Each structure stands twice: as structure tokens, then as C-alpha cells.
Structure 1
Amino acid sequence: MSAVWLNLITILCVSCTALSNPESSGVVWKDVGGAVTIQCRPPELNQEMLNLRKGLNEDIQVLFKESNSDKNTIATEFTSRLQLNGEFPNVDILIKNLTSGDTGPYWCEYKRFDPKSSQVVTIKGEGSVLLVVTDGPHQDTAQQCETSSKNLVLVPVVISAAVLLGILTVFFIWLIFKTKTLRTTVTPRHVATNDVYEDMRGTLRR
């Protein structure tokens, strides 16, 4: 059981990072058997297709809808549980009878054909969410995810501080070594004495 929660926490933390942009709607917590509405909105007009994808790598296509067609392509596992509201391209996607397997990030993806480049242009839409379906309290998981995110931010700060401290230490050691070297290389001043003169005076007296 602990391994399941550990995997869930990992998915949450990675997904929180992936969804941390203005186009996402954040984390949505739901209980098993509940429902969630994903509101997909295009950042630009004149879109021709809408994809609702699931997964960190967006490898699961939940819904495909074209602007000029009333037919919708829905993944088998969502066929009896998915309902569309609104008019294209502003589509509200309702998913009912949620299960724990529905947990994951959902991405609103729009496409249109660009006649200038003769290519299909894909852009992310607003409304992407991270859905978490649980059958119990989820506050502890949220707190752990938040703590992990803070730790991820602190790691580069600590590393930068350590590198800076190391550079300053090396600089001060070099400065002290340089100062000592200069002191030892100074030529001592020659002081004239009268030893020879006094010795000669003593010889003459004899």
C-alpha cells in the first residue's frame, strides 16, 4: 500500500511541475465515483480540432473532436462516462463515475491547418488539469508533494551557495599566499658600518 502512495506522490510532484504554467488549472481532487469537468479553451481562434490527452507524455487520447463534425472519437474506457457541453472550440468535458485509474494529468490540445506552411499547427489550450481520484483523505499527499516541491527549489540554492563559498575560500587563500610571497621577496636594506674604519685605527695605534 505504501508503494502505491509513493508512486502517487511521485506522479503528483512531477505533474505539478509539468502543469506549472498559465495554461493549466492546477490540481483537482475527486473521490471515487465522483465527476470532474475539464474546461478546454483555445488561446487562439480559428482552431479546427480538439484533443483531450492524458498522461505525463500525453500518450493516451481521451477525446478527439473536429469543429465541422458532430461525431466525436472517445477512448473505450471513457465511452459511457464522458459527456460534452458547449460549442467548439469552447468545450466543457464532463467525466463521470471516476475511478482511481483516472488519476493523471489531462491536456487540452488544439490543432489547425496552416496554409502558409502546409502543416498542422498544434498548441496547448487552457484548462489542462491534474486529476487525483482517491477513496480516502488526500491532505497528507498534498502536503508531501508541496514539501517535495520546496525541496526541489532549495537544492539549487544550496548548491549555488556552496559553490560561491568555495570560490571565496580559494580567493582568500590565494590572497594570503600572495601577501606572504611578497613579504619574503623584499630585498633587505644594506646598512653601512664603521667596523673597517675602527679596525684600521686600532692597527695604526700599535
Structure 2
Amino acid sequence: MSALWLEFILILCFYGTAWTDADVEGVVRKHVGQSVTIQCRSTSNQETLNLKKGLHEERDIFYATVHSDKRTIDSKFTDRLQYHEKFPNVEILIKNLTLNDTGPYWCVYKTIENYGQKITKGSGSVLLVVTEKPSTVVVRECQPPQNDMVLWAVVIAAAVLILILSIPLIMMILKTKPSHNTVKRRQQVPVNDVYEDMRGTIRR
């Protein structure tokens, strides 16, 4: 949340300062470790170019002059800054960005006119916002289950269902089946006793 507030404040300050003074290219957002290219351009003849950083242009990052091949680079950018130029148009590359590189960068040109110095801002000024790299989340694709596993699951589910449905049927069969003792008793009762008594009486 603090990074968003910082970016918001920087944007307000940058545009409030530069809206009427410079040809502002806009906001450039980068992650830590990436690179940014600032293209300073001027349509008129210029004597010097300063790439300045800060709301009040308080820090000189890069200095070039048309009268000399010597270029001055801030000590904290020496190993990270490269430039390509056809003066007054200079392309400045800053590599391996850090959070401290966040801020406005101004292309400030100077020339001598009528025994005086004229300062103008060329196009290419940007507000650089450097943020931490987003956390990399490893998303693993869900692999479909193997056919054998699906088949076994279906078989087990069917077996359980059949068992549940067959229990009430088995209980009904057991209730309606006659007991063994009743059958035995029926077999012990003689069937022809009445007829035998009648035969014996007649014979007498």
C-alpha cells in the first residue's frame, strides 16, 4: 500500500512541476533489475545536456557538451549507465534498476544566447517508478486421473450400492421362511391314524 501512495504522490508532484515547463513523456514503470531508456531530444542547437533527477533537479546523473567528447556520469550510475548520442539527441540507458532509482528524470539543455545562458527542458523527461518483482506463484496443472482408478472407483461404488439395497431384501426373506421345528412337528403327526382306528373297529 505504501508503494502505491509513494507512486501517487510522485505523479502529482511531477506533473504539478513539469506540466507547463517540459514536454513530459509520462510515467515509466519498471521492476527491480530491469532497464529503462530515457531519450532526451531537442529541436534547436544546444551547448550542453544535463540529465537531472529529483523534483527540484538536485542531482546530475549525466552531463554532455557539444564542444567536448568527455561525458560525466554520477558515481552511483557509472557501472549501470550507457549512452548513445548524436548531440543534442542522446539516448541514455540505465540498467539494473533499484528502488532508489524511483523519481523524475529531466532532460535539461543549456545554450548561450546574447551573452547569456538559456536553460530549456527538452523532450524525454519521465517519472520512473521502480517496484519489487511480483512474487512468482507456481501453478501446477491438475492431471486427469488414470482410467484404471476411475474404473475401480465405479466398481466399488456399485458394489456398495448393491449391498445396501440387498440388506432389506435378505431381512424380508428371513422373516417369511418357516422355522425348522415347525416342519418337524408336522412330519411327526401321523396322517392315517383315523383310518386305521376305523379299520380296526370293522375287523372286530
Smaller-chain TM-score bracket: 0.5 to 0.7
Contact 1:19–1:129 (CA under 8 A) maintained in structure 2: no
Alpha-carbon separation, structure 1, partners of 2:127 and 2:103 = 6
Contact 1:48–1:113 (CA under 8 A) maintained in structure 2: yes
Residue number in structure 1 paired with 2:90: 91
1:120 equivalent among 117, 120, 138: 117
Residue number in structure 1 paired with 2:167: none
Alpha-carbon separation, structure 1, partners of 2:14 and 2:119 = 21
Q: How does 1:1-206 map to 2 (within 5 A)?
A: 2-3=1-2, 5-20=4-19, 23-44=23-44, 46-114=45-113, 116=114, 118-136=115-133
Q: Which amino acid aligns with 1:58?
A: E
- Indicate the structure (1 or 2) with the bigger Cα radius of gyration: 2
Q: Deviations over 1:35-78 (max 9, x none)?
A: 0110000142x211000001110111111101121111111111
Residue number in structure 2 paired with 1:196: none
Residue number in structure 1 paired with 2:179: none
Alpha-carbon separation, structure 2, partners of 1:28 and 1:20 = 16
Contact 1:104–1:132 (CA under 8 A) maintained in structure 2: yes
Q: Deviations over 1:96-142 (max 9, x none)?
A: 0100100000000111111x2x11111110010000010146xxxxx
TM-score if structure 1 supplies the norm length?
0.60
Q: Deviations over 1:125-175 (max 9, x none)?
A: 0010000010146xxxxxxxxxxxxxxxxxxxxxxxxxxxxxxxxxxxxxx
SS at match of 1:13: helix
TM-score if structure 2 supplies the norm length?
0.61
Residue number in structure 1 paired with 2:180: none
Per-residue deviation, 1:14: 1.6
Q: Which amino acid aligns with 2:119?
A: T
Alpha-carbon separation, structure 1, partners of 2:6 and 2:19 = 20
Could you say if the C-alpha distance between residues 3 and 28 of structure 1 is closer, same or farther in structure 2, counting changes exceeding 3 Å? Answer: closer
Residue number in structure 1 paired with 2:150: none
Alpha-carbon separation, structure 1, partners of 2:18 and 2:102 = 14
Alpha-carbon separation, structure 1, partners of 2:17 and 2:116 = 26
Per-residue deviation, 1:20: 3.5
Which stretches in structure 1 are left out of the alignment for 5+ residues? 138-206
Alpha-carbon separation, structure 1, partners of 2:47 and 2:76 = 25
SS at match of 2:79: coil
Per-residue deviation, 1:18: 3.0
- Give percent identity, aligned residues only: 47
Which stretches in structure 2 are left out of the alignment for 5+ residues? 135-204
Alpha-carbon separation, structure 2, partners of 1:25 and 1:31 = 19
Residues paired across the two proteins, number = 133
Alpha-carbon separation, structure 2, partners of 1:24 and 1:8 = 17
Alpha-carbon separation, structure 2, partners of 1:105 and 1:76 = 19
